[in-house]
Structure 1
Amino acid sequence: MKTILLFLMSLDFSVYHLKINPVTSVTKDVFYPEAIKILKSLKFISNTSFVVTVGEDAYLGCTTENPSQALSQISWQRPEGVNFYVFTPENGAEAVNEFGKRVKFNRIGNWDGSIVIQNACLSDEGVYICIFTIFPSGPFHFSVTLTVQVKPVLTVSTEGLTEESHRETHIATCRVEHGKPEATITWETPFPKHKSVETSLMNEDCTITIESQLRAIPTRSEHGQEVHCIVEHPTFQKPEVASARLNIQYPPNLTVKQLNPDALIFQCEADANPPVEEYVWTRESGSLPNCATVTGAQLQFSTKSSDVNGMYHCEAKTHNTSARAQLYLQIYDSWNYPGLVILGIVTIAVLCIFPKLLWSNSLPRWLTRHLTMED
């Protein structure tokens, strides 16, 4: 009788050979095939984490060493366990659902199952599972994580500032909106000392908005200068800077200048923010002399005589404040001895009353300019 050869396979696919011979039979020949090698693991040589910025294409690597077995299928899933993209040697790549339509293979070899998710969005963030199915060893799983970043939007604004001595106030605000992960903010300013106060807000889409308030003591010396909000974020190739120019309001600082050393022409000049809207010249003892002409900030006398003697006030007005400077003129008609005595008496009196009296050495016949400030 013939020999009966049975092949029984265990769960781990090891092959056993069982020979059954009837008692009356004589075995002439028995065949033992080689055992099939079953892989217990497959070596993946890809990274396990990847990062992408919203709007860009996300690369997910999944590459193995050649197992010297037949490739049956490469499939991709999310943790829900449903395939969204499949590749088979017979049919090629195929999108299984709507999400899979945004995916394409990025294979550069038979054992490369890498994919690209086009136009990544926040909802794409998470874990992905790459599955290599080979024969006869079966399926092998490889998990990767995708992190989706969002490039934030920067804005900086300054406050309406008023010069207030020794009082710290809110200078500017820098907002870094809808970023992921959280950005880092620093300030560059013209202030000798400053500090910042930060608050952060988690938005509904899991992005983060940060607001940094710059605080310092504003003075007129910083008016017109810039503050710079410097932001660092993984989506930036280098720190990005948002700048704003300071607008610090301060009352007029007045000076009176003689424009021509040989003529009685005086200019009232003001450093103010907002700018001076109106200049007003008045004489303390009454109306201006007939020889005086006022043109804006300028006061001019057509004659050099004692008729112009007296205290003059230049008032500079802005829309919210005003300041005043004083000009004292004393002209002598001759340089005789009595005149010198009178000059000395007037000088003493003026110096007692106006300690900041200014003398013009270029005018031998008159005494000019005493200036004070009045808010």
Structure 2
Amino acid sequence: MNMSRMLGALLLLILQGSLAQRVRVEPEVVSYPGQTVTLRCQFQDRGDTQLTQVSWILEPIDGERTNIAVFHPQFGINYPTKSPVVGRVGFVLNPPTLDNPSIQIKDVKMTDEGRYICEYATYPSGNEQGVSSLIMLAKPKNIASTVTVTAGKTPVIAARCESSNGRPAATISWSTTLNGNATTPQTTNNPDNTVTVQSQYMLAPQPADNGKDITCIVSHRTMPQPETFAMKLVVEYPPQVQIVGYDNNWYRDRTNAFLTCQHDGNPIPTTVTWKTLSGLMPETVQVQDNRLAVQKVDDTVNTTFICEVRNSLGSAKDQVTIIVREQAPPISNAGVIAGVIFACILVLLLIGGLIFFLVNHKRQQQQGYRGTGKPAGAPYDSITRLFGSSKSGKNGTGNNGNNNTPIYRGDVGLSEKTNQGIHPGGMALLETTHTHTAEDILLSSEMDEAERKKFDELEEEDERYDHFGGGGPILQLRQHDDDLDDDMESQKDGSVISRTAVYV
């Protein structure tokens, strides 16, 4: 039985819901105070249903249901006198019809907000209805301001923001870097059904907070974008004082020494007073408002100076003790010394780079000489040694001052075709198409002693390269037997030449 009853109730609700859908209304209607609002109603898909009467009923947000308009095809129109909208409500059509019983309310007020029900009396299904919600909007009046506060440790209200006479209630938020907190918004319902919202910002103000930015932001449905109020916090505090300018280097006869009394406060300090601990101001000192100028430092300046500042909230002071020195401290040469050291380092780097370049260049020349028999890049040797070192002797030993090896000038050209042969005397010879005369040979020996020593040194260096494998093959005479001494012939200039060697 219980299950049957539950199913029956469910079917009844579904049937009533389907029937209620036949009364077509606007679910929500928005209006502003003073406007005329239209509430539409229409019965759809009547079919065999008979419409007897239509009524408009108001359900205020706070209050009882009240009939505000009734239409009966036989008895006509009726506007109850107890209606809160009497005199301002009427049917759109005159006369109205059951198919379109829409109404209008003129000069709507905030108290007109509520649910408006269009209800049909039908046969045989009974009453059917549709509900429209009238939402009244009121653009609020928004204001914000700061509160002048005095610096302290106790939190106080520093700024206020208010959105009054709005519908629905506005939303208030704060934007700031201050170290405070916003209070919970307070909402007040006004008699005209509007709402006023208030918010406050509290903090323990400090002198450093004076002039900082704080912004109140108000958001409301009637405004396309939030309204912002940018403000600056106002914090009053007694003066703050500091004397600057003393560098601990005041010496006798120093000129143009200054002390400055830096001060701050809100309200702005109006009085700045200079004095000394002894009570007497030195004659060489001139007071210029918050600045104390010493034209020439002497022993009378060797005292304590005091600066006192006042505003409406109080006073503050600072002091500095001057110690007059006998003479100026020596000028530091640290900068000059640093510059000299830097210059020396730079010179050493340049010299080192030059030495490295020269050594590297010399090494490249030596490597080229060892590999090719001549310095790298030179077109040809200045001295060409064809028959061994000047100090090569028999079996590779020195000849003790007897120069048995011909030395030739580098400018003597060789023909392009040279052939090696074996001299009958056992000496390796170099045959060429050009034969030098005795005069050429004598001229090659007419060198002074210094030039001969240079050539000897070059030959010694060549000999070292020959022995240690640094250079290429050197064409030189090689002894075949002991007849080498018989082959040599002394000349008038003291030199010795070979009888069989061919000089080129």
Could you say which TM-score interval applies, normalised by the shorter chain? 0.5 to 0.7
Q: Is 1:332 equivalent to 2:325 in the alignment?
A: yes
- The AA in structure 2 aligned to 1:186 is S
Change (3 A) 1:73 1:333: farther
Query: Are residues 1:191 and 2:178 paired?
Result: yes
Q: Which of structures 1 and 2 has the larger relative contact order (alpha carbons within 8 angstroms, sep 6+)?
A: 1
State which of 202, 209, 232 in structure 2 corresponds to 1:245: 232
- Write the letter of the residue equivalent to 2:109: C
User: Of 247, 250, 258, which residue of structure 2 is paired with 1:265?
Assistant: 258
Query: How far is the alpha carbon of 1:262 from its aligned partner?
Result: 6.4
Structure 2: distance between partners of 1:219 and 1:296: 28
Query: Is the CA contact 2:111–2:193 (under 8 Å) kept in the aligned structure 1?
Result: no
Q: Normalising to structure 2: TM-score of the pair?
A: 0.47
- 1:50-69 correspondence runs (5 A): 50-65=29-44
Offset of 1:290 from its aligned partner?
1.8
Q: How does 1:296-375 map to 2 (within 5 A)?
A: 296-334=289-327
Shift of 1:139: 10
Aligned 8 A contact 1:306 1:333 in 2: no
Q: Is 1:44–2:31 an aligned residue pair? A: no
1:233 has 2:220 as partner: yes
Per-residue Cα deviation, 1:64-90 (whole angstroms, up to 9, x for no partner) = 547589xx9998745444539x8x9xx
Q: Distance in 1 between matches of 2:244 and 2:100?
A: 84
Q: Supply the AA of the counterpart residue of 1:279.
A: V
Cα deviation code 1:188-210 (max 9, x no counterpart): 22223424144333333333333
1:39-65 alpha-carbon deviations (Å, 9 max, x no partner):
x88823332332323345534333454
Q: 1:121 to 1:306 in 2, by over 3 A?
A: same
State the AA in 1 paired with 2:258.
I
DSSP-derived class of the 2:228 partner:
strand
- For residue 246 of structure 1, report the CA deviation from its aligned partner: 1.0
String of CA shifts for 1:306-354, please: whole Å, max 9, x gaps.
22221101111111211111132223353599xxxxxxxxxxxxxxxxx
2:88 to 99, 111, 136: 99
More helix by share: 2
Please state if 1:223 is matched with 2:210.
Answer: yes
Structure 1 residue runs without a partner (length 5+) = 1-39, 89-95, 338-375
State the distance in 2 between where 1:336 and 1:254 align: 30
C-alpha separation in 2, matches of 1:46 and 1:262: 95
The answer on whether the counterparts of 1:74 and 1:130 sit within 8 Å (CA) in structure 2 is: no
- Work out the CA distance in 1 between the residues paired with 2:291 and 2:189: 60
| Equivalent residue in structure 1 for 2:146, among 138, 158, 162 | 158
| AA of the residue aligned to 2:148 | G
C-alpha distance 265-199 of structure 1, shift in aligned 2 (>3 A): same
Quote how far apart the aligned CAs of 1:219 are: 1.7
Q: Distance in 1 between matches of 2:111 and 2:329?
A: 98
Q: Which structure has greater strand proportion?
A: 1
Which protein has the larger Cα radius of gyration, Structure 1 or Structure 2? Answer: 2
The answer to whether the 8 Å contact 2:242/2:263 transfers is yes
Match of 2:268 among 275, 300, 320: 275
- For residue 167 of structure 2, the aligned residue among 180, 196, 199 is 180
**In structure 1, the residue corresponding to 2:208 is in which secondary structure?**
helix
Q: Which amino acid aligns with 2:31?
A: V
CA distance in 2: counterparts of 1:97 and 1:222, whole angstroms: 58
Question: Judging changes above 3 Å, is the alpha-carbon distance between structure 1 residues 59 and 245 closer, same or farther for their aligned structure 2 residues?
Answer: farther
* Alignment check: 8 A CA contact 1:278 1:296 kept: no
Contact 2:169 2:220 in 1 (8 A): yes
Cα distance change, pair 225–112 in 1 and its aligned pair in 2 (3 A):
farther
5+ residue gaps, structure 2, are 1-18, 59-65, 74-84, 248-253, 331-504
Partner Cα distance (1:333, 1:99) in 2: 101
What whole-Å deviation, never above 9, does each CA across 1:197-246 have from its counterpart, x for those lacking one?
44333333333333323222222222112322223333333333334321
Match of 2:136 in 1: 148
**Cα deviation 1:125-177 (Å, max 9, x = unaligned):** 2343547899xx99975442312233322222332312224x32222222222
Number of residue pairs aligned between Structure 1 and Structure 2:
285
Q: Distance in 2 between matches of 1:233 and 1:253?
A: 44
1:51 counterpart letter in structure 2? V
For residues 220 and 58 of structure 1, do their structure 2 counterparts lie closer, same or farther at Cα, with a shift above 3 Å needed? farther
From 69, 74, 88, the counterpart of 1:83: 69
2:110 to 122, 126, 143: 122
When normalised by structure 1's length, the TM-score is: 0.61
Q: 1:336 to 1:198 in 2, by over 3 A?
A: closer
SS at match of 1:331: coil
Query: Secondary structure at 1:209's aligned position in 2?
Result: strand
- Residue 285 of structure 1: which of 275, 278, 284 is its match? 278
Measure the CA separation in 2 of the matches of 1:238 and 1:206.
Answer: 24
Q: Secondary structure at the match of 2:316?
A: strand
The residue aligned with 2:155 is 168
Query: Percent identity among equivalent residues?
Result: 24
Q: 1:129 to 1:46 in 2, by over 3 A?
A: closer
The structure-2 alpha-carbon separation of the partners of 1:97 and 1:336, relative to structure 1 and needing over 3 Å to count, comes to: closer
State how far apart, in whole Å, the 1-side matches of 2:315 and 2:241 are. Answer: 10
**Alpha-carbon contact 2:29-2:134 (below 8 Å) kept:** yes
1:330 is paired with a residue whose SS is coil
Q: Distance in 2 between the 1:336 and 1:122 partners?
A: 86
One-letter code aligned to 2:304: M
Which of 242, 252, 256 is the aligned partner of 1:255?
242
Letter of the structure 2 residue corresponding to residue 48 of structure 1? P
